[in-house]
Amino acid sequence: MLGSLNPRKRTGGAPARLPPGVGSLDALAASPPLRDALQFFARERRWIDETHLALCRVPAPTFQEQVRAEWVMARLAALGLDARQDRAGNVYAIAGAAARQGPLVAVTAHLDTVLAPRDPSEIRVDGSGRFLGPGVSDNGSGLAGLLALARMLSLHPAVADAGAGVLLVFNVGEEGDGNLSGMRFLCKNSPFSSRIRAFLVLDGPALDHITAEALACRRFEISINGPGGHSWSDHGTANPVHALARCVAWFSDARALETAEARRSWNFGVIDGGSTVNAIPASARAKVDLRSASPDLLDALAAELGSVLERAVLAENELARAGRVSARLRETGSRPGGRLPEDSPLLAYLRSVDAYLGIRSVVECASTDANVPLSLGLPAVSIGSGGTGGGAHTPQEWYHPEGRELGLRRATLFLCLLLAGAAAAQ
């Protein structure tokens, strides 16, 4: 998950809007077996924390999630769930008596991380109780939350007996060049795709925001090639790194001067090229991430990137005394945009739960697995699973489990409303 760009719309305090058959959240929370299920998360705090740390010690960088997927399948099987893996690499299991044929609510969390621990000892707990290490917050917290929900449902199966089933999905390919591959498969090619009525995505820990608008993203790779040579004897030969540096600087400087439209971002996240300090490189490469809530502005950013690249190559060739460089701009990924309607029952249910639990949340725009269903017009939101965290996508990533139970009670109540709504719509 990556950051919000939208103005924040605060929720909480709105009149409860509940699905047919649910009289009040007070009555729902007090009813057996949900009363016991909501208490489960406090009782099993130690198990959840230990599971969280253990799964984070299994590396799962994007495109290399298989070992963690097998670890998750073993844990689900130990809970008595029939865990399987689809062609995309997603791990899934179904809970609920009506799940074999009826509608489903998908609850998902992505398996992959931007960084991975090189050794299990990198995942540790400090003196204040904070979890430290790559992926402990994004998305160790979401995965631990989903495993906690899976265990709760295995011990309290009647929670999912509202006439719709729960599809638990530990999906691949959310981060980086994964291009949301796991969620794309789930929404378009999975045998369950036609039965899913709503998507609840658990991504990160934060409870204060609800992602109900998908931030569109386009990703490109710039490749520049030239003849190369010796830094002294071939001095003046067209240099791919010099051309790339101009492209990065010119594009960034021009975008920084724009003030009329703030809802866009750009990032040159990877740059490489050359082999040694005393050789003119024969190639240079950069990976670029462009984002905007406006599809038109995103397309304009992409077009401008191509234009700036052409000018940078032309400038390098005009300055060179020998040789020429050439460039290629290749699109490597595209995350679609979309928006949950303001009057969506999904948003109303979540706002009602937040008001009931005293959670002050805001509706935001961000890039998550929810991008795919939202782009297809399918009801979806992405929320945190509780606790606090920071430093995502860096070696300094951290997570603290204090407050996790509130997030998991929130997810459970919301899930119950989604199940009731899906069953009533049959």
Q: Is there a contact between 407 and 207 (Cβ–Cβ < 8 Å)?
A: yes
- Ramachandran angles phi, psi of 81, nearest 5°: -95, 145
- Name residues whose C-beta falls within 8 Å of residue 108's C-beta, 6 or more positions apart in sequence: 146, 168, 169, 170, 171, 183, 186, 199, 200, 201, 202, 369
pLDDT tens digits, one per residue of 12-50: 445 578 998 898 999 999 998 899 999 999 999 999 999
Amino acid identity at 292: S
pLDDT at 260: 52
The first and second tokens of residue 155, run together, are 């011990």
pLDDT at 257: 54
Q: Is there a contact between 17 and 421 (Cβ–Cβ < 8 Å)?
A: no
Q: Is 50 exceeded by the pLDDT of residue 4?
A: no
Residue that is written with structure tokens 């690499």 in the block: 89
- Ramachandran angles phi, psi of 207, nearest 5°: -100, -10
Sheet holding 326-335, edge to edge: 264-273, 283-292, 216-225, 326-335
Q: Is 60 exceeded by the pLDDT of residue 3?
A: no
Q: Is there a contact between 421 and 347 (Cβ–Cβ < 8 Å)?
A: no
Q: Is 80 exceeded by the pLDDT of residue 255?
A: no
pLDDT at 294: 85
pLDDT at 264: 86
pLDDT at 15: 57
Amino acid identity at 403: G
Strands 131-132 and 216-225: unpaired
Q: Where are the alpha helices (DSSP H) in 156-200?
A: 181-188
pLDDT at 6: 40
pLDDT at 425: 83
Which of the residue ranges 86-100, 239-253, 267-281, 302-316 would you say has the lowest mean pLDDT?
A: 86-100
pLDDT tens digits, one per residue of 101-140: 789 999 999 999 999 999 999 999 999 999 999 999 999 9
pLDDT at 98: 54
Give the confidence band of 97 by pLDDT, cuts at 50, 70, 90.
low
pLDDT at 368: 96
pLDDT tens digits, one per residue of 351-384: 999 999 999 999 999 999 999 999 999 999 999 9
pLDDT tens digits, one per residue of 303-336: 999 999 999 999 999 999 999 999 999 999 999 9
Q: Is 80 exceeded by the pLDDT of residue 2?
A: no
Which of the residue ranges 208-217, 257-266, 279-288, 349-358 would you say has the lowest mean pLDDT?
A: 257-266
Domains (range + CATH), the chain: 9-215+338-424 (3.40.630.10), 220-335 (3.30.70.360)
Q: Is 90 exceeded by the pLDDT of residue 175?
A: yes
Give the confidence band of 5 by pLDDT, cuts at 50, 70, 90.
very low
pLDDT at 256: 66
Q: Is 80 exceeded by the pLDDT of residue 7?
A: no
Give the confidence band of 171 by pLDDT, cuts at 50, 70, 90.
very high
Q: Which residue has the higher pLDDT, 97 or 140?
A: 140
Tell me the mean pLDDT in the region 213-234. 96
In the chain, the percentage of residues whose pLDDT exceeds 70 is 94
Q: Is 70 exceeded by the pLDDT of residue 262?
A: no
Residue that is written with structure tokens 């009782």 in the block: 43
